[in-house]
Amino acid sequence: MIIIDRLCYCSKLRYVNAGEKSAFTVLTLAACILSRSCAVALFVLAATGVLTVYKGGLPLFRYLKLMSMPAAFLLLGTAAIFINISKVPLGAFAFSAGSYYITGSFQGLRQGAELILTALAGISCLYFLSLSTPVTDILTVLKRLHVPALILELMLLIYRYIFVMLKLAEDITVSQHARLGNRNLAASRKSFAAMVSSIFILSIRRSGQLYDALESRCYNGTLRVLPEDHPAKASEVFCIAVFELFLYLAVIFLKLSGGMP
C-alpha cells in the first residue's frame, strides 16, 4: 500500500460523505482555475491545508513533504518565465554575464507566481480528496454520476496494478542491491533495464492469475464493490455551500474589478 493510500485510511475525515468531499474538491479546483489569482490561490491553499492537517489529522511534516515534490517541479518548470537571458536588463533583477544579462521582469515574476500558486492550490485540493477518501468511495461517487462501468472497472484495475508493480519493483530492487547491482553507473543502468523487463513480464503473468481468480469467483464482466454508506450531514453541506459561495463571490469581484492580485 502506497503512503497516500495508507494515510487516507487513517484520516479523521475518512468517514465523511464522499460526495461532499468530491463536490468541495471539484468546485474549489474550478474556482482556482477560473480566477488565476494569487489571493484566491493562497486562500484555497490555507483552507485545504487546515482541513487536511487539522481536521484530517495528517502530520504537518508529512503534508509539507507531499507538497514539496510538486512545488519543486513547478519551480523548475516555470524558471523560463522568471528568468530571461537578454542584452538589455529588465526591471525586476539583472545579473551581468559578459555581454548578456540574466534578468527578469515584474510581469514575468507575477505570471510565474500566479502559475505556481494556482497549480499548488489545485494540487492541495486533490491532496485533500486523495488523503481523506479511498478510491473505492470515489468510484462509488462516479458510479452515481453515471460514469460508464467500463471506465470505472479500468480505473479500479489500474489502481490495483499500481500496488502490484510497486511491490515487484521494490522486491527486485532489494534483490539487485543485495547482489551489488548498483556498484557503479554501468551496473545501475543494466540493473534498471533488467528490472523494467522483469516487471513487464511479471505483470502480464499476474494479470493472467488475477483473471483466473476472477473467473473462479463467477466473474461476469462487472466488478462489484460493496459501498459504505456515510450519509451527508446538513451542517457539513451548509459549511461547504457557504465556503464555495464566498469563494466564487471573490472570484467574480476580482474579475469585475479588472485586477487579479
**Tens of pLDDT along 141-192?**
888 888 888 888 888 888 877 777 877 888 888 888 888 777 788 888 888 8
Separation between Cα atoms, residue 161 and residue 164, nearest integer Å: 5
Q: What would the pLDDT profile of 35-84 be if each residue is shown by its tens digit?
A: 888 889 999 999 999 999 999 888 889 899 889 888 888 888 777 777 77
Separation between Cα atoms, residue 76 and residue 72, nearest integer Å: 6
pTM of the model: 0.80
| All cell numbers assigned to 124 | 492541495
> Which of these, 133, 123, 153, 120, lies nearest to 22 by C-alpha position?
133
